[in-house]
Amino acid sequence: MILLEIRDLHATVNEVEILSGVNLKINSGEVVALLGPNGHGKSTLLQVIMGHPKYTVTKGKIIYKGKDLLKMTVDERARAGLFLAMQNPSEVPGVMISDFLRTAINTKRERPIKPIELFRVIDKASKEMQMPYDLASRNLNEGFSGGEKKRHEILQMKLLQPELAMLDEIDSGLDVDGIRIVSQQINEEKKDKTFLVISHYARLYDLINPSRAVVMINGRVVIEGDMELVKRIDKEGYEWIQIEHNIDIEREDKRPIVLEVCAINERSKK
């Protein structure tokens, strides 16, 4: 069953077009890897799906479970089962994590969660994610280390139980144990969820074993494949796509393409 269908999606930020005709279908239960050079619109796509007001959709459609997603508010999208773990989670001083999680959990429940139950689930999830013991009483992401912010995004996913979890560079900033814990959680949640996962590194994808990989260049999905595609990009970067698929990597003019560290490492071994 198709869970999400994106048709010819165009979107701008500050009147600059970032998405230039994205087409993508995601079936229920898939784990889709989204790759692409820096600055080519991956995070923008996820933010537009989630409904970030900074972006203006100028053309195209997003259909989620048969409904016109673009007509829904962010709140309605979250209640319909969408979840976004952001590339750079914001610090929100003054908002206690227990209050934030209670509000988020309650929007999806008929009866509010009891305080004792709330602390039980937060305590269990923070142990599983190996987060600080005083997590519930701290402010949202305030003073969190880079890795703690990423672990906390997965903790939220576990508590909110979305249908479509979109994870934007969830592996950036995680230490070796963090990557293992996060990928274990993704693998457990894969049984009843669909994932759209952005990462620059084959390492994460090796651990979560995506069913499909798609590559975004110049604000469009230009190639689809499987783990072989992920491995090739990890080894060779993106230049071969330009040559073999005759695609100009246009955004190079606006921002230089930064080859990822593992691609450089792989090349330097040759």
Ligand X SMILES: Nc1ncnc2c1ncn2[C@@H]1O[C@H](COP(=O)(O)OP(=O)(O)OP(=O)(O)O)[C@@H](O)[C@H]1O
Interface ranges with ligand X (CB under 6 A)? 13-14, 16, 18, 36, 38-44, 87, 254-255
Site string for Mg ion, 41-70 (x = CB under 5 A): -xx---------------------------
Residue 18 Cβ, how far from ligand X at the closest point, in Å? Answer: 4
From the list ligand X, Mg ion, none, pick the one residue 16 interacts with, judged by a Cβ distance below 5 to 8 Å according to partner type. Answer: ligand X
- 220-225 and 56-64 strand pairing: unpaired
Closest C-alpha among 77, 104, 73 to residue 4: 77
Contacts of 53 (CB under 8 A, 6+ apart): 74
- 212-217 and 31-35 strand pairing: parallel
Contacts of 235 (CB under 8 A, 6+ apart): 263, 266, 267
Residue nearest to Mg ion (CB): 43
Closer to ligand X at the Cβ: 12 or 184?
12
Is 24 strand, coil or helix?
strand
Closer to ligand X at the Cβ: 183 or 218?
218
- Encoded tokens for 194: 């669909």
From the list ligand X, Mg ion, none, pick the one residue 40 interacts with, judged by a Cβ distance below 5 to 8 Å according to partner type. Answer: ligand X
Closer to ligand X at the Cβ: 14 or 268?
14
Q: What is the largest distance, in Å, between two alpha-carbon atoms of the chain?
A: 60
- Binding residues among 82-101 for Mg ion as defined by CB under 5 A: 87
- Binding residues among 24-43 for Mg ion as defined by CB under 5 A: 42-43
Q: Does 199 bind Mg ion (CB under 5 A)?
A: no
Closer to ligand X at the Cβ: 40 or 152?
40
- Encoded tokens for 176: 């070796």
Closer to ligand X at the Cβ: 131 or 179?
179
Closest C-alpha among 251, 246, 206, 242 to residue 227: 206
Q: Which residues bind Mg ion (CB under 5 A)?
A: 42-43, 87
